[in-house]
Structure 1
Amino acid sequence: MAKSRETPLKCLRCAPLSPAEARAKHPNCWDDKLCTARRFYINNRDRINQKRARKRIETNHQVSAPDVKYGILHVWRENREDSPIHALGVEIWEQNTKIAMVAPVHCAGWLPN
């Protein structure tokens, strides 16, 4: 990536002056095309960069979300690490709609595996 060039120091000092003062102070250096554009950018740099940054942030990308189906497993047990599972339940969802639900099933008498 190319390194950006810094604005010359004499241009930074010249930018706040009026065009007539700048021409009188720097007669050998003044270029109508170059100096007008460069002085405008120096004087309005903050506003231009804010506008550019806002434009980057506000860009919206329209991406269609795929149809996602997912399941939620509900496990009921006491709030201990070694406690046995009391009951199990399942919900199946597609996007924001519930498709199916398996009511909680008690696990009393089931083997741990």
Structure 2
Amino acid sequence: MPKKVGHNCFQCSKLSTAEAQAKPCWDTVRCPNRRHYQRNKARISQQRSQSRPVESSGNVPRTIVIEPPIGTAISIIFYRERQDAPVHALAAQVWQGTEKVLKVEPMHCLGLSPAQVVEVMTEILKACSSELGVELTKFASKVELHPSQCPISSCPQWHHNN
């Protein structure tokens, strides 16, 4: 079983590169790779599992290649400090194959209860489904970014100068 990543490395993966490099624990050899892996863990694991050969015994069967249909997937982006911290903002992206076809602009969730955040997530799914004419029932992946990465220019918590 693989060793779990350290708590500090996990939290650091959510920060911008400049913020991460400012930390006293920054190692120019290890940290960039660890941050990349943490940010893309779900996609990397899926690619690994798909690329593993299937073990077979006996005769080697013939192989054919079938192009999979292009699927539609929606990713949710949480802006929060820790997984158990309140959600600062939400955003979403809809992908068809390798092409981003729809983007839900980030919206602040300051002051919303966890139940209200879930309602907003449900509304995002409904809105994207109706916009594309495809039924989206759940988020395919989850991305977590630090609130300092919040792109909303009028952000009261992180963009004091704007």
- Scaled by the length of structure 1, the TM-score of the pair is 0.46
Structure number having the greater strand percentage: 1
The structure having more radius of gyration, on CA atoms, is 1
Greater relative contact order structure (CA < 8 Å, 6+ sep): 2
